A = this chain, B = another copy of it.
Amino acid sequence: MAGSVNRVILIGHLGRDPEVHHTQAGSRIVNMSMATSESWRNKDTGERMERTEWHRVVIFNERLTEIAEKYLRKGSKVYLEGQLATRKWTDQQKVERYTTEVVVPRFGGALVLLDRQQTGPGSPSSPDDYGTTRASGAGGAPAGRDPLDDDVPF
């Protein structure tokens, strides 16, 4: 179809550590579970209500998989740009199922860290390395779309 647009923008927290997988072809794929929630007050009772939405995120963009693996952990707060994709699968009872995911494609999307995540296992081992890598990776403009390694801003 000509002229389609499919965009998702999320700001939320990771419900658990990102899961890193590797394809046979050698590329890294990251799966994450991300929560957004909205709260409101019940008009009648005045009670505070909250609804949490869980999003399955799959990152194909190589640079962003690297950033996700290095810097994201359970609880991390992130800004994410991706697109909707629903895939079909068959469960153990041979029933067809559908799962909708927010996909960050190989060429596109964005991922921005919105907090200072405490370093943990798998985090950069030295402050210097950490700082440098962050600066050129997650710490700049939205990774994956911007000319971080170029010499012009646009």
- A contacts, CB < 8 Å to B: 1-13, 35-45, 48-55, 58, 60, 77, 79, 83-86, 93, 95, 97-100, 102-103, 105-108, 110, 112-114, 134-136, 138-142, 145-154
A38 with B152: CB separation less than 8 A: no
| A43 and B79 in contact, given A38-B4, A97-B97 (Cβ under 8 angstroms) | no
A58: shortest Cβ distance to chain B, in Å?
Answer: 8
| A151 and B49 in contact, given A7-B10, A105-B146 (Cβ under 8 angstroms) | yes
By beta carbon, the residue of chain B nearest A39 is: B140
Q: Given A4-B37, A8-B8, A8-B9, 11 other A-B contacts at CB below 8 A?
A: A2-B134, A2-B138, A3-B139, A4-B38, A55-B84, A77-B114, A93-B95, A97-B97, A103-B154, A106-B154, A114-B114
| A142 and B36 in contact, given A100-B86, A149-B41 (Cβ under 8 angstroms) | no
Q: Could you show 14 A-B contacts with beta carbons less than 8 Å apart?
A: A2-B139, A4-B37, A4-B142, A5-B10, A10-B84, A11-B79, A36-B84, A40-B152, A42-B150, A58-B154, A84-B100, A84-B102, A106-B152, A108-B146
A54 to B98, CA, bound (A): 12
A140 to B106, CA, bound (A): 17
B residues less than 8 Å from A49 (CB atoms): 151, 153
